Structure 1
Amino acid sequence: MGEHYFAARPGAATSRRTIDLVLPDLHLRLDTDSGVFSPDRVDLGTRVLLETAPPPPPDGDLLDLGCGYGPIALTLAKRSPQARVWGVDVNERALALAESNAHAAHLDNVRFSLIDDLDPGLRFATIWSNPPIRIGKNALHDLLLTWLSRLTPTGLAYLVVQKHLGSDSLQRWLDGQGHPTERIASRSAYRVLRVAPRMEGSSR
């Protein structure tokens, strides 16, 4: 795979390009670059998530976990203009692109941050994510448990995961951790999982 898109400071030479995200309710023009996730097109899993998840809450704090250059966060910001949208990532190049893309789209209700710099006191009405499966199972599990614990009591997370990369086993694992998890969509070998906050009294 060469350099991973989850490097903090990609060493790949810059190669800027522009792609389009066209959904039934919106059109975003997005700048991308080498060294970020899916620079040549909006990843199919991301598109499946954006086309199948229910509308985000109209207000509150909404999170895009692993935002890349911003397609999920900017979609949330467009669909919920009264909400505060946060996008977090470890990739500094991706975050710079996401900020630029938000400015170009005239979206002032979205902010981007390094994953470790976001206020740990924030609680989210929803979390949407195309999670970085390739960071490894243990790191992925730690990442998800950390951020799912920041859902509001009525909040819900929506994750898109490819079947052959372990969506079904991840669903079972999340259930086992006390997070009720349901598959709400399946398309093109991708599963969209709806994850609820940890059940009160769970021993995990």
Structure 2
Amino acid sequence: MGDHYFTADPSAPSRPGSVRLHTGGVQLTLATDSGVFSNGRVDRGTKVLLDTAPMPPARGPLLDVGCGYGPIALTLAARRRRLPIWAVDLNSRGLGLTRDNAATAGLGNVTACHPDEVPDDLTFAGIYSNPPIRSGKPALHALLLHWLPRLQPDGRAYLVVAKNLGSDSLQRWLAGAGWPTERLASEKGYRVLEVSPPRS
């Protein structure tokens, strides 16, 4: 079995590369490597998310779940340099790349770490994710149910999911689990879902 992008310690030999990201006035050159999600290009779903998802209505920390080499986290950090941006991933190679890319870009407001290293009492104004759909539904649902309760009362989560990988069924599942979810955008075969905290 080869590595998956959600493997904690990729065994694939290192093959460094780089990609260029342009979105909403942000231009970044990001280092990539083998064993990390979409290492050869900016993933189309990630680009759709960054092009369409707004900043959340609340001011406060933002979270990138499954950061990979950091395109989402670093874009958020560039757009909101005064806000703390947390980037989490199980993939140690991806976390190292995110830290290096943040340093290269001069973005000192990014903290890239393992999920267990996020303080338990920290809540977020916004959560952004191109989630690991291919990890399977049980793992995906567990991931979302771990992080969504960390939303602040007026915060929002933005998820991008390919239509052919179950975006509509995920939207129904989230709503059924008590998380009001709307389709914010549909572009290039991807849906961007906006998730709100449960209504009191």
Count of aligned pairs: 200
SS at match of 1:116: helix
The answer as to whether partners of 2:55 and 2:126 remain within 8 angstroms in 1 is: no
AA at the equivalent of 2:63: L
AA at the equivalent of 2:68: G
Flag the 1:141–1:151 CA change in 2: closer, same or farther, 3 A. Answer: same
Alignment partner, residue 180 of structure 1: 180
Q: CA deviation at 1:90?
A: 0.1
Alignment partner, residue 162 of structure 1: 162
The answer as to whether partners of 2:126 and 2:157 remain within 8 angstroms in 1 is: yes
Distance (Å, rounded) in 2 between the aligned partners of 1:115 and 1:55: 22
Q: How does 1:26-65 map to 2 (within 5 A)?
A: 26-56=26-56, 59-65=59-65
* 1:77 to 2:77 alignment: yes
Distance (Å, rounded) in 2 between the aligned partners of 1:45 and 1:78: 19
The answer as to whether partners of 1:57 and 1:80 remain within 8 angstroms in 2 is: no
Q: CA deviation at 1:51?
A: 0.3
The answer as to whether partners of 2:56 and 2:155 remain within 8 angstroms in 1 is: no
Which 5+ residue runs of structure 1 have no aligned equivalent?
none
- State, as a whole percentage, how many aligned pairs show the same letter: 58
Alignment partner, residue 121 of structure 1: 121
The answer as to whether partners of 2:123 and 2:151 remain within 8 angstroms in 1 is: yes
* 1:4 to 2:15 alignment: no
AA at the equivalent of 2:79: R
- The worse-fitting range, judged by mean Cα deviation, of 40-49 and 59-68 is 59-68
Flag the 1:13–1:57 CA change in 2: closer, same or farther, 3 A. Answer: farther
Query: With structure 2 as the length reference, what TM-score do the two structures score?
Result: 0.97
Q: CA deviation at 1:112?
A: 0.5
AA at the equivalent of 1:87: A
Q: CA deviation at 1:55?
A: 2.9
Alignment partner, residue 66 of structure 2: 66
User: Could you report, residue by residue, the CA deviation over 1:63-91 in whole angstroms, capped at 9, with x for unpaired residues?
Assistant: 00100000000000011111110000000
Which 5+ residue runs of structure 2 have no aligned equivalent?
none
Alignment partner, residue 190 of structure 1: 190
Alignment partner, residue 16 of structure 1: 16
SS at match of 1:107: coil
Cα RMSD, aligned residues only: 1.2
AA at the equivalent of 1:33: D
Query: With structure 1 as the length reference, what TM-score do the two structures score?
Result: 0.95
Q: CA deviation at 1:30?
A: 0.2
